Amino acid sequence: MPYDWNFTIVLRYLPQLLEGGLHTIILSAAAIALAAPIGVVMGVIRQQRVPILAPIAVAYIDFFRTSVALVLICWCYFALPVLIGVTLSTFTAVTIAIGLQASAYLAELVRAGLQSISVGQWEAARALGMGTRLRLQYIILPQAARRMIPVFFLLVIEVFKTSTLAGFVTYPEIVYEAYRVATDIYRPIETFTIVGAICFVFLFSLGRIALYLERRYAVVER
Amino acid sequence: MSYAWDFNFLWALGPLLLGGLINTGKLWAIAFSSGLAIGLAFGIMRTVPSRILRGIGMVYVEAIRNTPGLILLIWFYYALPILVGVQSSAWLAACVALSLYTGAYSAEIYRAGIASVEAGQWEAARAIGLSYAHQMRYIVLPQAVMRMIPAFGNRAIELAKATTLASTLAFGELLFTAKVIAEDQFRPLETFTAVSVIFTAVLLPLSYACIWLERRVARSGGIVRD
């Protein structure tokens, strides 16, 4: 029995799907905004082996690195409110879950970036009489950031993919909207084909940008 | 407000959770082994001289890698009956989608591994009269595989995480079982905490093993003599 494909009817619902896509983007942006400061601080603490704090950073990074995004989302949405006695919106819960996990990945990225700066740079800065903070701020981090940019972009792509899980706890992102459209018009395959295509175009473009940045910022020691 | 933690009910429901964990394990094992096989085929395809085969390999890898895993899963769930005419089930859709998902990522690992073998090895193998297939099979792959192992380990971890996606199709893996228990017992805090701990307890040692292997391979320059 050949299947009678019908994409035109789905296209009529395109605005609704794109609105879901917009929610996905907003959610990802919020998660990254939460992840960025935590990730940088944790990464620096770990790489600098700050006493007392470093083991905490390691435990934090290891826990979130090996946690499952969907489990974290469920935990933040279903369990966290019980623990703190405050009802969280789906948006807040998912932002916390994805943001914390991304911060762990980012911390590892920051650590690797700092590690990649040659010892000579550290020593030269110290020879000028700079303290740890100054050395990090003016000498090491600016160089490390340059190398981290392409990988950071890949992390952003991962965050976008993870954001599609938010529909599981009824946040109206793109997959959630797709389900609603699919049940409205009984066309799940066409709907999800189009949603898949939207995601592909978006993520593929981001990937190309990452590749471009990688070439552009490719490390050349001068 | 302090919350009275109570894990006792979970012990009683242990067999249920264990059943979920076993389903997760099954899905993982099938998707990982078939993913490695699919990845090998497409990974080699991406390195062969034929431009058409390379193109097909690239389309597959890019298409899968740039689509969120969840969408793949749902897509196959609805599309399988049409594509191959079989009755769809959450289990089948999850197996197919996660295999292809792992296949695309491991194809890249194979490709990078094969590319890391220096040209001299290919040339030497050709000089002694081996065919392309034999050069690959006997000279290049054995040397490349050792360097790929840490990356495959990381893939295995990512796949274990991805199996939870099947819960969105109501496949009874660990997370889905936990959700049912949490709703049934009105104890989401303990249940989801337990699931989270189970995953970390399994994946953290694996992750450390990968880091260890990576260092070892890096130290030996990827060359392992026995």
Question: CB-based contacts of B148: which residues, under 8 Å, 6+ apart?
Answer: B109, B110, B112, B113
Question: Which chain A residues in 8-67 lie under 8 Å from chain B, judged by CB atoms?
Answer: 62-63, 65-67
Residues of B in contact with A7 (CB under 8 A): none
pLDDT band at B226 (very low <50, low <70, confident <90, very high): very low
Find, in chain B, the residue whose alpha carbon is nearest to that of A79. B189
> pLDDT tens-digit profile of A4-23?
888 998 999 999 999 999 99
Q: What is the largest CA-CA distance in chain B?
A: 77
Nearest residue, CB atoms, B188 vs list A65, A67, A79: A79
pLDDT band at B147 (very low <50, low <70, confident <90, very high): confident
Q: Within a domain: residue B132?
A: yes
The domain in which residue B31 lies consists of: 21-172
Residues of B in contact with A102 (CB under 8 A): none
Residue B138 belongs to domain with CATH number: 1.10.3720.10
Name the least confident of A29-38, A145-154, B203-212: A145-154
Average pLDDT, chain A: 92
Question: CB-based contacts of A89: which residues, under 8 Å, 6+ apart?
Answer: none
CB pairs under 8 A between A and B: 106
Confidence (pLDDT) at A3? 80
Q: Within a domain: residue B190?
A: no
Give yes or no for residue B107 having a pLDDT over 70: yes
Whole-number Å distance between alpha carbons of B82 and A193: 13
Tell me if ipTM is over 0.90: no
> pLDDT tens-digit profile of B69-106?
999 999 999 988 888 888 889 999 999 999 999 999 99
DSSP chain B: -------HHHHHTHHHHHHHHHHHHHHHHHHHHHHHHHHHHHHHHTTSS-HHHHHHHHHHHHHHHTS-HHHHHHHHHHHHHHHH-PPP-HHHHHHHHHHHHHHHHHHHHHHHHHHTS-HHHHHHHHHTT--HHHIIIIIIHHHHHHHHHHHHHHHHHHHHHHGGGGGGGT--SHHHHHHHHHHHHT-HHHHHHHHHHHHHHHHHHHHHHHHHHHHHHHHTTT----
Give yes or no for residue B143 having a pLDDT over 60: yes
Instruction: Say if residues B168 and B70 touch (Cβ distance below 8 Å).
Output: yes
The domain in which residue A134 lies consists of: 12-216
Q: Within a domain: residue B202?
A: no
Residues A144-172: what's their mean pLDDT? 92
> pLDDT tens-digit profile of A193-207?
999 999 999 999 999
- Give whole-number Cα distances, A80 to A63, A102, A172, B109, in Å: 17, 18, 20, 38
Q: Within a domain: residue B11?
A: no
Name the least confident of A168-172, A216-220, B63-67, B118-122: A216-220
> pLDDT tens-digit profile of A59-84?
999 999 999 999 999 999 999 998 88
Given an 8 Å threshold on Cβ–Cβ distance, is A82 in contact with B161? no
Residues A43-57: what's their mean pLDDT? 93
Residues of A in contact with B78 (CB under 8 A): 188-189, 192
Given an 8 Å threshold on Cβ–Cβ distance, is B196 in contact with A82? no
Q: Within a domain: residue B96?
A: yes
Given an 8 Å threshold on Cβ–Cβ distance, is A74 in contact with B203? no
Average pLDDT, chain B: 91
Q: Within a domain: residue B219?
A: no
> pLDDT tens-digit profile of B4-13?
788 888 888 8
Instruction: Say if residues B68 and B43 touch (Cβ distance below 8 Å).
Output: no
> How many domains does one find in chain A?
1
Name the least confident of A47-56, A125-134, A210-219, B34-43: A210-219
Whole-number Å distance between alpha carbons of B75 and A161: 15
Instruction: Say if residues A57 and A45 touch (Cβ distance below 8 Å).
Output: yes
Given an 8 Å threshold on Cβ–Cβ distance, is A195 in contact with B71? yes
Q: Within a domain: residue B7?
A: no
> How many domains does one find in chain B?
1
Question: CB-based contacts of B170: which residues, under 8 Å, 6+ apart?
Answer: B90, B176
Confidence (pLDDT) at B14? 85
Residues A164-186: what's their mean pLDDT? 93
Whole-number Å distance between alpha carbons of B177 and B162: 16
Question: CB-based contacts of A91: which residues, under 8 Å, 6+ apart?
Answer: A27, A30, A171
Residue A116 belongs to domain with CATH number: 1.10.3720.10
Q: Within a domain: residue B1?
A: no
